[in-house]
């Protein structure tokens, strides 16, 4: 009976693999492609569907993921891969402050799908296009309804949607040279960051109204999708049984790839606003820093004191490094500051267990040596938006 059960399970997963691969059929090549599994640290390349399945089988079908984008995205140092796949991550823990987090999550998911598929979004966006993009679609296609794939990951919803797309970086309006403040900043964090890749962040923010996982900042190399009927290892480690840890298909994509020109005007406005925000920060940074150093270095900062009063579920390491350590180092003795941060981490532990690799003593000691001062709230919002959102969610 076990052998029969295993064969049935393997056949289900093979069908699930085919289902996910169907989302990439518009791309020039299905393989090679990066995948991830529970028994391998990091990403690795597979060259066939059979090799992919075997890697998943060896991992007992735990944490089985595949990149939505192929390995080869550059040719002669020129980007050749368009942003032709949207991945939206809606994490239930972001709504943990509500009485019924799952109910709120379901509402956000439904709102997101409605915004993606709404006729209003299509008609409104379509008026924004330049003639140079018009050949990507025709009028009959624009009337189509959009049905995205929806996956229950075990801890939230993932939404997958292929696009009829093009490489935006080749067009003057989307050249990185148009955004001199924005792209040097991003390159510090992610090498070879392209304008096309930033569309992935824009669409997630747009369609969720900013309610997606703030730490999910997708680029081509990190756009990993879960395979239905496999198992989420984190759920298993948190004590859930196999059935509750199973990755489930909630809704299937209907095969329609909406054209990217429905998004380009809004995307360019979004890029321009980010560029202006960074210009403002860089221009006024010296004055802001001087004022805080000379007149208010030791005064209480309400938003930081509020943060110390309660634990947060995400961003604990960066909160200590960028905010709490430097803040307390100027206001308390080393011993008092150390104890305060230990107590704060205990509060965080109650909200969500800390990563097993997290070393509190080393992190705290390092943060208390930071002589540059804590990051200001206005700068946190611009430079570390995911952390700002992680903190804001809790308040």
CATH, residue 97: 3.90.920
Residue 126 included in any domain: no
Q: What is the mean pLDDT of residues 368-382?
A: 78
Q: What does pLDDT average to over the chain? A: 83
Q: 237 with 323, same domain?
A: no
| Cis, peptide link before residue 81, omega less than 30° from 0 | no
E strand map for 233-289:
248-251
Whole-number Å distance between alpha carbons of 133 and 146: 20
Whole-number Å distance between alpha carbons of 168 and 189: 21
Q: Which residue range is the domain that position 333 belongs to?
A: 302-393
Q: 72 with 197, same domain?
A: yes
Terminal CA-to-CA distance of the chain, rounded, Å?
52
Q: Return the percentage of the chain with pLDDT > 90, whole number.
A: 47
Last residue of a domain, one of 279, 314, 334: 279
Asked if pLDDT for residue 351 goes beyond 90, the answer is: no
Domain count, the chain: 2
Q: 197 with 248, same domain?
A: yes
- The per-residue pLDDT for range 196-233, each reduced to its tens digit, is 999 999 999 999 988 887 767 788 988 999 999 999 99
Q: 201 with 161, same domain?
A: yes
Whole-number Å distance between alpha carbons of 153 and 175: 36
Residue 293 included in any domain: no
Count other C-beta atoms under 10 Å from residue 364's C-beta: 24
Better-scored residue on pLDDT, 261 or 123: 261
Q: What is the mean pLDDT of residues 348-362?
A: 81
Q: 116 with 255, same domain?
A: yes
- Provide the 8-state DSSP code for 70: -
The pLDDT value recorded for residue 354 is 79
Whole-number Å distance between alpha carbons of 52 and 34: 9
- Output the pTM of the full model: 0.68
Whole-number Å distance between alpha carbons of 270 and 42: 32
Whole-number Å distance between alpha carbons of 88 and 103: 18
The pLDDT value recorded for residue 136 is 43
Residue 43 included in any domain: yes
The pLDDT value recorded for residue 276 is 86
**Structure token digits, residue 326:** 């430097």
Count other C-beta atoms under 10 Å from residue 260's C-beta: 24
**Structure token digits, residue 67:** 């990149």
Asked if pLDDT for residue 150 goes beyond 90, the answer is: yes
Q: What is the mean pLDDT of residues 350-361?
A: 80
């Amino acid at each position: 009976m076990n052998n029969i059960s295993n064969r049935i399970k393997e056949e289900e997963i093979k069908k699930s693999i085919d289902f996910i691969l169907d989302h990439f059929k518009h791309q020039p090549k299905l393989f090679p492609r990066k995948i991830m599994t529970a028994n391998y640290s990091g990403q690795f390349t597979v060259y066939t569907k059979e090799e992919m399945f075997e890697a998943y089988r060896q991992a007992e079908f735990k944490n089985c993921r595949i990149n939505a984008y192929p390995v080869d995205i550059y040719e002669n140092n020129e980007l050749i891969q368009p942003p032709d796949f949207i991945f939206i991550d809606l994490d239930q823990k972001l709504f943990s402050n509500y009485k019924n987090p799952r109910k709120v999550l379901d509402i956000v998911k439904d709102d997101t799908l409605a915004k993606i598929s709404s006729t209003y979004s299509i008609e409104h966006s379509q008026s924004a296009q330049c003639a140079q993009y018009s050949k990507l679609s025709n009028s009959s296609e624009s009337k189509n309804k959009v049905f995205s794939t929806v996956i229950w990951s075990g801890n939230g919803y993932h939404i997958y949607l292929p696009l009829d797309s093009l490489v935006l970086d080749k067009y003057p309006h989307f050249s990185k040279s148009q955004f001199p403040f924005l792209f040097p900043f991003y390159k510090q964090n992610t090498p070879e960051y392209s304008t096309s890749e930033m569309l992935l962040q824009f669409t997630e923010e747009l369609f969720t109204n900013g309610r997606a996982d703030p730490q999910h900042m997708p680029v081509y190399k990190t756009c990993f999708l879960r395979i239905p009927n496999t198992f989420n290892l984190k759920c298993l480690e948190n004590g859930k049984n196999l059935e509750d840890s199973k990755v489930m298909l909630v809704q299937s994509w209907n095969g329609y790839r909406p054209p990217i020109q429905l998004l380009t005007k809004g995307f360019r406005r979004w890029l321009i606003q980010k560029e202006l925000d960074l210009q403002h920060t860089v221009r006024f940074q010296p004055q802001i820093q001087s004022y805080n150093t000379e007149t208010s270095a030791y005064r209480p900062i309400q938003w930081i004191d509020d943060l110390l009063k309660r634990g947060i579920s995400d961003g604990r390491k960066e909160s200590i490094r960028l905010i709490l350590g430097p803040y307390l180092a100027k206001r308390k003795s080393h011993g008092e500051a150390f104890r305060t941060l230990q107590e704060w981490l205990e509060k965080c532990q109650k909200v969500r267990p800390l990563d097993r690799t997290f070393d509190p003593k080393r992190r705290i000691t390092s943060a208390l040596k930071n002589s540059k001062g804590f990051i200001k709230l206005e700068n946190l919002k611009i430079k570390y938006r995911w952390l700002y959102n992680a903190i804001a969610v809790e308040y």
